[in-house]
Structure 1
């Protein structure tokens, strides 16, 4: 980390209503992930640190990530306040195609905590890229959530129960464990919400 960049920021990645529309969200690691995310947001605001919101969009696709369908907005209970940027992205990393890096640099931020959805996808990718950019990254692991991942080559459109019954399906607890192993000590520090809130400023 650049020692001249002493600021801290929380980046909330894809904690949006889009996921709540999907059947697979019923089997997510934490359907109520907005609650721990909200605790982190309050903590960072209370310290006077920066909070940045990032939402995933897939314009023109007709999916739940298409802004035209009205679901590309923060989950209930979560919302930016004045002065907190709300960015949109079309890639996995919150740094790709957005102003995130420029904003963080302009604020003098050197330490970034990531939370949101999905753990191994946009949260992990954002964390890895932030590390590559020289930022000290933290993943707030229990303020992330993910869904089961079907085995490569699985038939599309299967009912959720069939996906869960398939022994080849990667379940959320295993996905999160893999992300913790992949990031810890390499790209980021992995901490719980309680650990982050309990740390000394």
Structure 2
């Protein structure tokens, strides 16, 4: 089954310093290897960007934070879906687009692993899509201790957050693989 490549939220707003410490500084470089491979195989490449409505968010058109990162933007004819929530399937025509194109499989990567990537992977699997997660083309940010969830909780390291998110997805909602394997086997 041919898989579409779904690139989630590779946008400049995630470079803002307010996000804090991040794991996997090579996520974008790894992800940028995938579109060319998909295009060379004439397989579909789909782009997603977060269009925040939160005041002060770096992910708004007004801040310039919705611009795609270099090497990860669409080429002519590649669909772009703008979302306002974590799931790429809510409030967009992504599901209809995939069905109309006869696509039942997705390879997903993006920012951030525990948020928009995880939510989209889970929902895609629940909708019946066969999902592969390019885990080394994703990244997460550390949490701070003052999240309001539990007083006295220590900050969580970005790598631990990423690893935990991938661990929860692999086997249940997706097959987690690295970019090198995808370049050898997909689309």
Give the Å deviation of 1:60. 6.2
Give the Å deviation of 1:167. 7.4
TM-score, scaled relative to structure 2: 0.91
Name 1:153's counterpart in structure 2. 148
Q: Are 2:26 and 2:137, in contact at CA under 8 Å, matched by a contact in 1?
A: no
Give the Å deviation of 1:62. 3.5
Name 2:25's counterpart in structure 1. 31
Name 2:172's counterpart in structure 1. 186
Count of residues in Structure 1 that have an aligned counterpart in Structure 2: 184
Q: Are 2:13 and 2:66, in contact at CA under 8 Å, matched by a contact in 1?
A: yes
Mapped to 2, the partners of 1:60 and 1:185 lie a distance apart of 34
Larger Rg: 1
Alignment match of 1:106 (pick from 76, 100, 110): 100
**1:90-148 Cα deviation digits (max 9, x unpaired):** 10011111111111111111110110100111001100000000000011000001110
Give the Å deviation of 1:45. 1.3
Name 1:12's counterpart in structure 2. 7
Q: Which runs of 5+ in 1 are unaligned?
A: 1-5, 155-165
Name 1:157's counterpart in structure 2. none
Q: Are 1:59 and 1:68, in contact at CA under 8 Å, matched by a contact in 2?
A: no
Q: Please give the secondary structure, in 1, of the residue aligned with 2:32.
A: helix
Q: How does 1:152-171 map to 2 (within 5 A)?
A: 152-153=147-148, 168-171=154-157
Mapped to 1, the partners of 2:25 and 2:82 lie a distance apart of 22
Mapped to 2, the partners of 1:35 and 1:200 lie a distance apart of 18
Change in Cα spacing, 1:59 to 1:174, as seen in structure 2 (3 Å) is same
Mapped pair 1:67 → 2:75:
no
Give the Å deviation of 1:40. 1.2
Mapped pair 1:199 → 2:185:
yes
Name 1:76's counterpart in structure 2. 70
Alignment match of 1:135 (pick from 118, 126, 129): 129
Name 1:95's counterpart in structure 2. 89
Q: Which runs of 5+ in 2 are unaligned?
A: none
Give the Å deviation of 1:23. 3.8
Name 1:158's counterpart in structure 2. none
Q: Are 1:7 and 1:107, in contact at CA under 8 Å, matched by a contact in 2?
A: no
Give the Å deviation of 1:173. 1.4
